[in-house]
Amino acid sequence: MTKENRGSIQVIDCQILAHYQFAGDQHILTMDSPEIAKATKPGQFVHITVSDALLMRRPISIMSIDAENGTFDLLYKVVGEGTRQLAERKIGEVLSVIGPIGNSFKMTNKKRPLLIGGGVGMPPMISIAQSIKDSDYQPFTILGSEAPFPFDEKAANNAEDYAGATHTMPLLEDWGVECRLASLQNYEGVYQGYVTGLAKVYLDGLSANELAQVEVYSCGPHPMLVAVAKLAKEYNLPCQVSLEEYMACAVGGCAGCVVKVQTESGPAMKRVCVDGPIFDAALVF
């Protein structure tokens, strides 16, 4: 584990303050922990106990924090027994949480970050947006989902139409972060296609000077990240990706989440949990 990541990990009993359910078996969990809210950086995750019946924790990305009130939010989708049991947890219950874990996205001098999140890869993009919403960055966020979006999407105040994409995520709209949505499910006001297709529409509308200020940040399913990495290479853009892998311990001990990464000394196996989950896309794809 790198020294940078070692100091953030804590084991904390966190109380559930709110638990919202959305269409498509998607949930947002709000938990109480001033320590995690204060320490979290965009792209980090927690390893959470889902119930007394299952010993194995589940890794879930941190979507947003409220440092003033000492809370953090998790967005997850029910995909197996672990998340099914997590969905049964009630307000007031206390769950053991390890975190925040991993490295974080690094904001650079590129002032037009392009944030691309797919499915359960949306939370890290929302986390980045929150961290830079009051800065001089000009982010553009693309969120993709084949399930109904886990929020009541609405038409953006900025009415610019990106190939049919006019709807946005209300939370990002409130933050002043421009956002558009993509899906293959024919939702109203949503780009009909992949997130990379909408990204091309956005990038092709930029001037050469604007394009030179773009850096791509992305999280989502593996095939989507491969496509995003190819897109970044096509437009000669730097790109950071957050990888999603199955994890057992999530703190670097079991090495069950390793991926091959190109380094200056050749290929090396890196642990997604603590050496990542953020990597340079050009080095892992």
Distance CA 148, CA 145 (A): 7
Instruction: Return the pLDDT at 1.
Output: 41
Nearest Cα residue to 44 out of 68, 60, 56, 29: 60
DSSP code, position 148: P
Lowest-confidence pick of 29-43, 117-131, 196-210, 264-278? 264-278
Q: How many residues does the chain have?
A: 285
Instruction: Convert the pLDDT of each residue in 173-216 to its tens digit.
Output: 999 999 999 999 999 999 999 999 999 999 999 999 999 999 99
DSSP assignment string, 112-175: EEEEEEEGGGHHHHHHHHHHHTTSS---EEEEE-SSPPSS--EE-SS---BTTB-EE-HHHHHH
Return the amino acid letter for 5.
N
Lowest-confidence pick of 36-40, 252-256, 268-272? 252-256
Instruction: Return the pLDDT at 2.
Output: 46
Q: Is the pLDDT of residue 101 over 60?
A: yes
Q: What is the mean pLDDT of residues 213-235?
A: 97
Instruction: Return the pLDDT at 160.
Output: 86
Query: Which domains can be identified in the chain, with CATH numbers?
Result: 3-101 (2.40.30.10), 112-242 (3.40.50.80)
Instruction: Convert the pLDDT of each residue in 137-149 to its tens digit.
Output: 999 999 999 989 9
Distance CA 208, CA 271 (A): 37
Residue with tokens 């804590």: 10
With b for 16 or more beta-carbon neighbours within 10 A and e for fewer, the 152-165 pattern comes to: ebeebeeeeebbbb
pTM listed for this prediction: 0.94
Instruction: Return the pLDDT at 7.
Output: 62
